[in-house]
Amino acid sequence: MDTLTQFRPETAANAEWWRGAVIYHVYPLSFADSNDDGYGDLPGVTGRLEHIRTLGADALWLSPFYTSPMRDFGYDVANYCDVDPVFGTLADFAVLVARAHALGLKVIVDQIYSHTSIQHPWFQESRRDRTNPKADWYVWADARPDGSPPTNWQSVFMGSAWTWDARRGQYYLNNFQSDQPDLNVHNPAVQDALLGVARFWLDRGVDGFRLDAVNFCMHDPQLRDNPPVTNASRRTRPFDFQHHFHNQSHPDIPKFLERIRALTESRGASFLVAEVGGEQAAMEMKLYTEGDTRLHSAYGFHYLYADQLTSELVRAGGEEWRGDAREGWPSLAFSNHDAPRVVSRWSDSRDQTAFAKMALLLLMTQRGSVFLYQGEELGLPQGRVPFENLRDAEAIANWPHTLGRDGARTPMPWLSTATHGGFSAAVPWLPVDPAHVALAVDLQERDPHSTLHFARRAIALRRRFSALRTGGQRFVDAPAPMLVFERGEGESALLCAFNLGASPVAWSLPEGWQIEESVNLKQLSAREIPALAGLLARRR
């Protein structure tokens, strides 16, 4: 019995396996291409599940693979209950789930309940006229007397959140792209249909759902204008000019979440986690996970959109979740498919490998369930994508003022000597950055000091010490840029310390502690800790 298998029975038998788990985030389009068409697919994921298993992850989360015109690369769903041919078939999905479960990995899939593609049959029927059976399945509204949109609401990406449709002679709401019309989730029939989608995937063996943009799934039926932001420090989009009080975040959302929880529990699925962004995210994450009848967990963009890693940032993130009565369970991520990779956002001009290792240890010592984005275990920086190769509408619209999302979605480098880093024999849908090939999996497998090997050690700590999975977190006062905190209680508590800065800092390990794991720390001086060094210590 190997080390990984030795730990699996405890987590598999535990209904709360997700509490403190490490969940590996797979963006299928860029993970592995099995048929050499330049696009990643489900058989490609299945063929690389051993990589996820040997990392020590408890589960994988798959970004969308449903039928889609791919204007938003799967987040614009045209059929919730089928696999897009780019990714394979339902039979391929069944093989993936069976193989993952055989390896002791849970499978989490995305559910997008706020909007569909303009090509979805529901929308095609809804737009036909104002009296058809699905006429109110989407958010429709008349123009203002001057023909302008019904409200001042702005979309996340592309200006006005309203698009005119000549067939109905009305505007439809699109909080994201204009070809992603918003569902009217106030409508009980829409809720029933979405629960049917969840039931479809539960019947196919999934272990839970990640709910995309869940706070966008209900709007203000009174169609009140959003108030302007008067003190914004940074504005790169029209979306940034207003408070989003009325196009999202309706107080009836928790009632719908309770219906989802009841369904999933009746089917034996065990994990529901929400993505919650925006200025009200901290409050909404608590609201959506409160008690035992809503979601298990939620995460926001506290880290994902932060420009710098500071001790204040981590303290603020940890102190949002204090373990109060009826409080849900936090989840967190440093990188994902929607945000520039952490190494490029936070390392500045410092050693990127050293920074990547330090960030991995920091992530794995935080309270909550953690999401590890594909390539993060390799220390990949943001991929360089020339403007002419950009595919994402958000990246194109905001170029060059943001790093965009394409650079976080470039293909995984598996083999340093193979074409396109071993991702595909064909030209990939996004280019492989040569800097990523130098960090390919095969090279790092051969180097015991690589980021990949350190990632496995850092993840193993969460299996070894229950304090890291489920223990509390208490921050200890320390001079910036030092970050010091304890995990767990009493004699089993662990001490974690990190120098997040670019220079050594005066700090020494307190009496009574001994180091169990460290990064970028050849020897701890009695007086200072080096830049980008981190450690985990336990009581002697």
pLDDT in tens, 463-476: 999 999 999 999 99
CATH of domain 471-539: 2.60.40.1180
Stretch 495-501: mean pLDDT, rounded?
Answer: 98
What is the H or E stretch that residue 106 is in?
strand 106-112
DSSP-derived pairing of the beta strands 494-499 and 22-26: unpaired
Catalytic residue among 58, 72, 179, 275, which?
275
Q: What is the pLDDT of residues 55-69, one digit of tens each?
A: 999 999 999 999 999
Stretch 366-370: mean pLDDT, rounded?
Answer: 98
Mean pLDDT of the chain: 94
**Domain segments of the chain as ranges:** 3-116+186-462, 471-539
pLDDT band at residue 13 under the 50/70/90 scheme: very low
Q: How many helices (H) and strands (E) does the chain have?
A: 16, 20
Angle between helices 253-266 and 188-202 (to 10 degrees): 30
Catalytic residue status for 517: no
Classify domain 3-116+186-462 at the CATH superfamily level. Answer: Glycosidases (3.20.20.80)
Q: Which of 219, 226, 218, 222 is nearest to 154 (CA)?
A: 226
- Go through 170-185 and write b for each residue having 16 or more CB atoms within 10 A of its CB, e for each that does not: bbbbbbbbbbbbbbbb
Res. 393: pLDDT tops 90: no
Catalytic residue status for 447: no
Q: Which of 325, 324, 271, 273 is nearest to 300 (CA)?
A: 273
At position 405, the amino acid (one-letter code) is: R
Stretch 146-151: mean pLDDT, rounded?
Answer: 98
Return the biggest CA–CA distance within the chain.
Answer: 77
> Which positions ≥6 away from 445 have C-beta within 8 Å?
452
What is the chain's Cα-based Rg? 23
Catalytic residue among 212, 338, 377, 433, which?
212
pLDDT band at residue 328 under the 50/70/90 scheme: very high
Percentage of residues in the chain having pLDDT higher than 90: 90
Stretch 190-204: mean pLDDT, rounded?
Answer: 97
**The residue to which tokens 């990632």 are assigned:** 455
Per DSSP, which regions of 427-502 are E strands? Answer: 473-476, 482-487, 494-499
pTM (2 decimals)?
A: 0.95
Q: What is the pLDDT of residues 506-540, one digit of tens each?
A: 999 999 999 999 999 987 776 899 999 999 999 99
- DSSP 3-state assignment of 341? coil
Stretch 475-484: mean pLDDT, rounded?
Answer: 96
Res. 1: pLDDT tops 70: no
| Token reading at 217 | 């799934």
At position 485, the amino acid (one-letter code) is: F
